[in-house]
Amino acid sequence: MGFSAGEHAELLQLQDVVRYDECNNQGRGGARHLSSVLPAVSAAIGSPISTAMHADAGLLRAELNFPKVDSAIVVLIDGMGFWNIVDRKGHAPYLRSLLSNRDNDTPISSCVPSTTVAAMGVFGTGTCPGLTGMTGYSQLHPQRREISQMIKFTGDINPEEFQRQSTIFEALRDNGVCATSVGLPQFAHSALTRAALRGSTYVAGSHPRARIDAAAQASYESGLTYLYIRDADKMGHQYGWDNQRWIGTFERIDSQLRSLASKAKPGTLIVITADHGMINSNPASRIDIAQHEQLKRDVELIGGEPRAVSLYLYSDVNPHDVKNRWLDYLGDKVAVYTKQEAIDAGIYGLVNEQTRHILGDIIVFANNDVTVVDSRTQQDMATRLPSVHGSMTAAELDIPLFVDIAE
């Protein structure tokens, strides 16, 4: 069971940039993008919400083939990429049955970087990292010359003031439509929730069964219910995405989803997606910036994550010199962009001035199973995670868009 070595290798190759406003020949971008999911669902429940990236929610609904319904549940599974599911579908009878439907057998794209902070901003607002300012696990503080961790918005960053794009939940609430979020108690008022998912009524459940039951119950009122499942990402980072503990978690998530479909109000639209996929890292391919003079020279601060690194240079440094030095030293192990090249390529979508300031002077995306770390500033464990994500490979970018109707 699972992919061959050659198939795995192909999934670990860097892909072309996926644009928000168009589809390429691989079926990614445009409507088939994480940013389109909630706008399309808003149209499905009769309250279409337009965003700065997607003006016509009704068109998104039609292109994604969502039926018109009274109630919808959108499930986001952290770290559950499309190819992770396909590779281990034998352990997941419910998801396997959805994959057999032709409408569900092609992935959509996450954003770049393919990581939770950026993706949750994209998902919740229907826009892009260039507008939310949420560009990675860590990034430059908007007012200080220091690095902030963006899961918790460290450095006293106010989430509501920093991330100013309206969320789909806020827009639905303002239209008088019921919007409910179901998740863990500790996330009810977290910085990430406040930045990307504000506007809904939050229902906390301490155990998976309680969260499934709460989401199913919410579907009996017309509107949108959002359910977050985090365990796949957590287990992947701790043990590896195809470790037996991860597989056991995968089996339990599949069971939870089947239970949700059986308990939700009949006729409820159920949409299952993710924020990113995961790959297994390779200790032999680990590059420690601290150990290489060619890589650390001229670099003042380092942000991002092991698969998508942001380099902040000293003010008198020419970024093209650093880019060329990195490419000369690392070759095809990485793709390297200057800030302006990344913006021009559309990697972050539309980019406002706040985000332009925050983006690294150099952005490095890892190819194959390479990780790029800095032992001077990162804890050793964080530089040796068994599974990682963030780059522009199919394994990390491709996410599911599974559609079911509760019976």
Eight-class DSSP state of 20: S
153-167: per-residue pLDDT in tens? 999 999 999 999 999
What average pLDDT does this structure show over 347-351?
Answer: 97
Eight-class DSSP state of 233: H
Domain locations in the chain as residue ranges: 5-135+148-280+393-405, 283-387
pLDDT at 255 over 80: yes
Omega before 319 cis (within 30°)?
A: no
What average pLDDT does this structure show over 5-13?
Answer: 93
pLDDT value, residue 1: 53
Least confident of 16-20, 192-196, 248-252: 16-20
Mean pLDDT, the chain, whole residue set: 96
Q: Locate 29 and state its tokens.
A: 């971008």
% residues pLDDT > 70 (the chain): 98
* Residue 217 backbone phi and psi in degrees, to 5: -65, -40
What average pLDDT does this structure show over 3-28?
Answer: 81
pLDDT at 24 over 50: no
Q: Which residues, including other chains, have CB under 8 Å from residue 340's CB and lie 6 or more apart? A: none
Q: Comparing C-alpha atoms, which of 143, 138, 173 is closest to residue 156?
A: 143
What average pLDDT does this structure show over 255-264?
Answer: 98
pTM of the model: 0.97
Q: Which residues, including other chains, have CB under 8 Å from residue 135's CB and lie 6 or more apart? A: 113, 117, 118, 129, 310, 348, 355, 358, 359
The CATH class given to the 283-387 domain equals alpha beta
Q: Contact 94/315 with Cβ under 8 angstroms?
A: no
In residues, how long is the chain? 407
pLDDT value, residue 22: 60
Residue 260 CA to residue 397 CA, distance in Å, equals 26
Beta bridge pairs of residue 204: 183
pLDDT at 151 over 50: yes
73-97: per-residue pLDDT in tens? 999 999 999 999 999 999 999 999 9
* SS3 call for 381: helix
What average pLDDT does this structure show over 3-8?
Answer: 88
108-117: per-residue pLDDT in tens? 999 999 999 9
pLDDT value, residue 119: 98
The CATH superfamily holding the domain 5-135+148-280+393-405 is Alkaline Phosphatase, subunit A (3.40.720.10)
Residue 68 CA to residue 267 CA, distance in Å, equals 10
pLDDT value, residue 25: 40
pLDDT value, residue 4: 87
